[in-house]
Chain A
Amino acid sequence: MNVLSFINDKRVRDWFYQIALILLLVGLTVFFVRNASENMVKAGIASGFDFLWRTSGIEVPFVLTGYTQSDDIFALFWVGVANTMLVTVIAIVLATLLGFAIGIARLSSHWLLSTIAGAYIEFVRNIPLLFFVLFWYFGVIAALPQPRQSIGLFGVAFLNNRGITIPLPDAPGNFRWAALAILVSWVCYWLASAWARKRKERTGQDAPLLVIGVGLILVVPALAIAWASLATRWDIPVLRGFNYRGGFVVIPEFVALLAALVTYTAGFIAEIVRGGIESVAKGQSEAASALGLRPGRILSLVVIPQALRVMTPPLTNQYLNVLKNSSFGAAIAYPDVVSLFMGSALNNTGQAIEIIAMTLAVYLVIGLAVSALMNWYNARIALVTR
Chain B
Amino acid sequence: MNRSSSLSLWRERLFGTPFTGFVSVVLFVLIAWIAIPLIRWAVIDATWVGSTRADCVPGGACWVFIRARFGQFMYGLYPVDQRWRVDIAGIAFVLGIASVILAPQRLKLKLGLVMLVILPPLGIWLLSGGFGLRYVETREWGGLTLTLFISIYSSLIAIPLGILFALGRQSELRIIRLISVIFIEFWRGVPIIAVIFLASLLLPLILPGGIGIDRLARAVIGLGFVIAAYMAEAVRGGLQALPRGQREAATALGLNYWKATGLIVLPQALRISLPAMTNEFIALIKNTTLVLVVSILDLLGIAQASLADPNWVGMNMEAYAFSGAIYWLICFALSRWSRSLEKRRRL
- On A, residues with C-beta under 8 Å from B are 14, 17-18, 21-22, 25, 32-33, 35-36, 38-40, 42, 110-113, 116, 122-123, 125-131, 134-135, 138-139, 142-143, 320, 324-328, 330-331, 338, 342-343, 346, 352-353, 356, 359-360, 363-364, 367-368
Determine if B84 is an interface residue (Cβ-Cβ < 8 Å). Answer: no
For A364, list chain B residues within 8 Å (CB).
186, 189-190
CB pair A356–B300 under 8 Å, yes or no, is no
Q: Is the CB of B209 within 8 A of A42?
A: yes
Asked whether A359 lies within 8 Å of B209 as measured between CB atoms, the reply is: no
Q: Do A328 and B201 touch across chains, with their CB atoms under 8 A apart?
A: no
Q: Is the interface of B mostly helix, strand, loop or mixed?
A: helix
Contact between B197 and A128, CB atoms less than 8 A apart: no
B261 at the interface (CB under 8 A from A): no
Ordered by A's residue number, 10 sampled pairs between the chains whose C-beta atoms are within 8 Å are A112-B23, A127-B286, A139-B317, A143-B316, A326-B191, A328-B193, A331-B193, A338-B191, A353-B202, A363-B191
CB–CB B320/A139 < 8 A: yes
A40-B205, A353-B205 known; A134+B304 contact, CB < 8 A:
yes
B197 in contact with A338 (CB, 8 Å): yes
Is there contact, CB below 8 Å, between B320 and A32? Answer: no
B197 touches A131 (CB 8 A): no
CB distance from A267 to the nearest CB of B (A): 12
B292 touches A (CB below 8 Å): yes
Q: Find the B residue at minimum CB distance from A109.
A: B20
> Nearest 8 A-B pairs (CB), nearest first?
A126-B331, A128-B286, A32-B206, A327-B191, A324-B191, A130-B289, A18-B175, A111-B13
Task: Say yes or no: A131-B289 contact (C-beta < 8 A), given A338-B194, A353-B205, A367-B189.
Answer: yes
A343–B294 CA distance with the chains assembled, in angstroms: 11
CA distance A352 to B304 in the complex (A): 28
Is there contact, CB below 8 Å, between A331 and B293? yes
Within the complex, which residue of A324, A326, A346 is in contact with B201, where a contact is CB–CB below 8 Å? Answer: A346
Q: Which candidate, B107-115, B267-275, B321-329, is the interface stretch facing chain A?
A: B321-329
CB distance from A251 to the nearest CB of B (A): 19
> Per-residue CB proximity of B1-28 to A under 8 Å, as 1/0?
0000000000001100000100110011
Known: A18-B174, A325-B191. 6 other contacts (CB 8 A): A39-B206, A128-B289, A128-B327, A131-B320, A326-B191, A353-B202
Contact between B173 and A17 (Cβ–Cβ < 8 Å)? Answer: yes
CA distance A21 to B182 in the complex (A): 14
Known: A18-B176, A35-B208, A127-B324. A360 touches B194 (CB 8 A): yes
User: Who on chain B is nearest to A84 by CB?
Assistant: B191
Report whether B23 and A327 are in contact in the complex, using a CB–CB cutoff of 8 Å. Answer: no
**Pair B27/A116 contact, Cβ less than 8 Å:** yes
Chain B contacts of A360 at CB under 8 A?
A: 190, 194, 198
Minimum Cβ distance to chain B for residue A16 (Å): 11
CB-CB under 8 A from A113, the residues of chain B are 23, 27
Interchain CB contact under 8 A, A126 and B20:
no
Q: Find out whether the CB atom of B293 lies under 8 angstroms from the CB atom of A330.
A: yes
Q: In whole Å, how far is B252's beta carbon from the nearest beta carbon of chain A?
A: 15
Q: In the complex, A203→B323 CA distance in Å?
A: 64
Indicate if B290 sits at the interface (CB-CB under 8 A): yes
Q: Would B193 and A110 count as touching, CB distance under 8 A?
A: no
Q: How far is the CA of A87 from the CA of B32 in the complex (A)?
A: 33
Given known pairs A125-B335, A134-B304, A352-B201, the reply for A330 and B20 (CB within 8 Å) is no
| Set of chain B residues within 8 Å of A142, measured between Cβ atoms | 316
Q: In the complex, what residues of B have CB within 8 A of residue A139's CB?
A: 316-317, 320
Within 8 A of A (CB), among B326-343: 327-328, 331-332, 335
- B287 / chain A contacts, CB cutoff of 8 Å: 128
Cα A21 to Cα B207 with chains together (Å):
21
Establish whether residues A39 and B205, one from each chain, have CB atoms under 8 Å apart when the complex forms. Answer: yes
| B194 pairs with A130, CB closer than 8 A | no
- A18 to B300 Cα, complex, angstroms: 44
Min Cβ gap B39→A in Å is 15
- In the assembly, what is the distance between CA of A126 and CA of B332, in Å? 6
A14 to B176, CA, bound (A): 10
- For residue A360, which residue of chain B has the nearest CB? B190
Set B14, B288, B332: member contacting A111, Cβ < 8 A: B14
Chain B residues closer than 8 Å to A328, beta-carbon distance: 193, 290
